[in-house]
Amino acid sequence: MNEMSKIETTLKDWETDQEVRWCPGCGDYAILKAVQRTLPQLGADPKNTVFVSGIGCSSRFPYYMESYGFHTIHGRAPAFATGIKLANPDLDVWLVTGDGDGLSIGGNHMMHVLRRNVNMQIMLFNNEIYGLTKGQYSPTSREHTRTPSTPLGSVDHPANPCAFALGSGARFVGRGIDVSKNLPDVLTAAHAHQGAAFIEIFQNCIVYNKDVFDDFAKPKGAEQQQLWLSHGEPMLFGSEKTGGVKGLKLNTQAFAFEVVDVADGDWQAAGVQVHDATNRMLAHMLVELPFGEFPMPLGVIYDDPAPTYEAAVIAEKERASAGKDTSIARLLAKGQTWTVSGTASDPV
């Protein structure tokens, strides 16, 4: 995000006159509303806001946001967004991508925008499927996913978006669910972060991969399956009503997490780990937690800002320009020159 003057807007101000063309019931609707609800709370200014997307269902997003928008080409949105930020670092850039766009065709650009730490919010809608091309498996599809291109089930191992982001050097990694009421909080934290903020949003493709996240996203039983992280707070999940309060404890011998029961709310006695969003090693462990044995870590997993790329580029340009001669006439005449005097005659 950027420190721009905050202005007052409402959700309505962020809606365009364009008819939204996602399938009825698509998780994208919920994300769109969450973003349109969050931006007024941030005091964001539509004229300084740019939504940049690639190709895919998620990438139609800019057309529905009453701000500046650029619907680019498949997988390359991070490169366009980088150019935009270098040309005008005051713009507040949101990048919208999906698991295919951002991790398959555009995996390379995703890696570089993260390692360079270009200041923007990157929302990766992960539905574990290719929607717009009618249901082929994606790089995040689980093994044995049956699709038109994998009629016998997929055989390749899925990529883990948050682990990829961390591995690429991301300084902010967050996770949310399309319909979760907590999504705006994750978006807000991402926006507050100076640098590339990566947010994986589990998104339900109701046509080609319906309810694939139900194991943890379904409201019923969610408390036992979702670990909402908060910096400085213990890693607790579950409730008395849903089968007991539990927590994650770090087994320092095994250097691994384990699930422990918390009795009478005394998480300290149970040895539950307190979340430190600035701890990179902790973040690595959290994004690698196998779901099933552990709940799904959600919220702000990692948030530890570092200098941004565009600031470094601009500072370098200023340093290199300081006191330099900017006369183009002198530039053209640089190096060893010689003068010819007299009258021209040009025999060939």
Partner 1 sequence: MATQTAEAQPDTQVQDSMVVRFAGDSGDGMQLTGGQFTLSTALAGNDLATFPDFPAEIRAPQGTLFGVSAFQINFGSRQINTAGDAPDVLVAMNPAALKVNLASLKPGGLIIADSGAFTKRNLEKAHYEENPLEDGSLAKFDLLAFDISERTIEAVKPFGLGNKDALRSKNMWTLGLALWMFDRPREPLHDWLKAKFKSKPEIAEANIAALDAGHAYGETAELSGPLKQVHMPPRPVEPGLYRTITGAESVSLGLVAGAQLAELPMFFGGYPITPASAILHHLARLKEFDVTTFQAEDEIAAICAAIGASYAGQLGVTSSSGPGIALKTEAMGLGIMVELPLVIVNSQRGGPSTGLPTKTEQSDLYQAVYGRNGDAPMPVIAARSPADAFDVAIEACRIATQYMTPVMLLTDGYIANAAEPWKVPDPSAYEPFPATFLEELPEGEEFLPYKRDEKGARPWVKPGTPGLMHRVGGIEKHETTGNIDYSPANHQRMTELRRDKVANIVVPDQEVSWGEDTGDLVVVGWGSTYGPIKQAVNRWIEKGAKVSHVHVRHIWPLPQNLGKLLSGFKHVLMPEMNTGQFKTLLRDQFLIDAESLTKTSGQPFQIAELEEAIGRCLNEKCGGKIGTNDDQLPNPVGVEK
Q: Minimum distance from CB of 248 to partner 1 (Å)?
A: 36
Write the interaction track for partner 1 spanning residues 40-69; mark x where CB under 8 A is met and - where it is not. Answer: ------xxx-x-x--x------xx-xxxxx
96 binds partner 1 (CB under 8 A): no
- Pairing mode, strands 196-202 and 172-177: parallel
1 binds partner 1 (CB under 8 A): no
Token representation of residue 169: 């050097």
| Residue 244 C-beta: closest distance to partner 1, Å | 48
Q: Is the CB of residue 46 less than 8 Å from the CB of residue 16?
A: no
Q: From the CB of residue 193, how many other CB atoms can be counted at a distance below 10 Å?
A: 22
Q: What are phi and psi of 297, to 5 degrees?
A: -70, 130
* Nearest distance, CB of residue 197 and partner 1, angstroms: 19
Asked whether position 293 contacts partner 1 by CB under 8 A, the answer is: no
- Residue 325 has which token pair? 């001669």
Q: How near is the Cβ of 65 to partner 1 at its closest, in Å? A: 8
Q: Tokens 């650009």 correspond to what residue?
A: 109
Structure tokens at 329: 């006439």
Residue 81 tokens read as: 């967004």
Kindly state the tokens that stand for 118: 């270009």
Q: Which is nearer to partner 1, 82 or 97 (CB)?
A: 82
Question: According to the binding rule CB under 8 A, does residue 82 interact with partner 1?
Answer: yes
| Residue 347 near partner 1 by CB under 8 A | yes
Out of 15, 20, 37, 112, the only residue in the binding site for partner 1 (CB under 8 A) is 112
Element at 89 (helix H, strand E): none
Q: Is 315 an interacting residue with respect to partner 1 (CB under 8 A)?
A: no
Count of residues in contact with partner 1, rule CB under 8 A? 65
Nearest to 196 by CA among 139, 104, 124: 124
**The only residue of 27, 58, 80, 237 in contact with partner 1, by rule CB under 8 A:** 80
C-alpha span between 173 and 298 (Å, rounded):
10
Please report whether residue 324 would count as binding partner 1 according to CB under 8 A.
yes
Q: Does 23 sit near partner 1 (CB under 8 A)? A: no
> Among residues 74 and 231, whose Cβ is nearest to partner 1?
74
Q: Which is nearer to partner 1, 153 or 307 (CB)?
A: 307
Nearest distance in Å: CB 108, partner 1: 6
User: What is d(CA 90, CA 86) in angstroms, rounded to the nearest whole number?
Assistant: 9
Determine the interface stretch with partner 1 among 25-33, 202-210, 221-229, 326-334 (rule: CB under 8 A).
326-334
296 DSSP β-pair partners: 226
Angle at 210 between CA 299 and CA 140, to 5 degrees: 60
By CB under 8 A, tell whether 255 contacts partner 1: no
Cβ–Cβ < 8 Å for 68, 51: yes
The token pair that represents 282 in the structure block: 């902790």
Contact residues toward partner 1 (CB under 8 A) are 16, 18, 46-48, 50, 52, 55, 62-63, 65-74, 76, 78-84, 86-88, 90-91, 108-109, 111-112, 313, 316-317, 320-321, 324-326, 328-329, 331-348
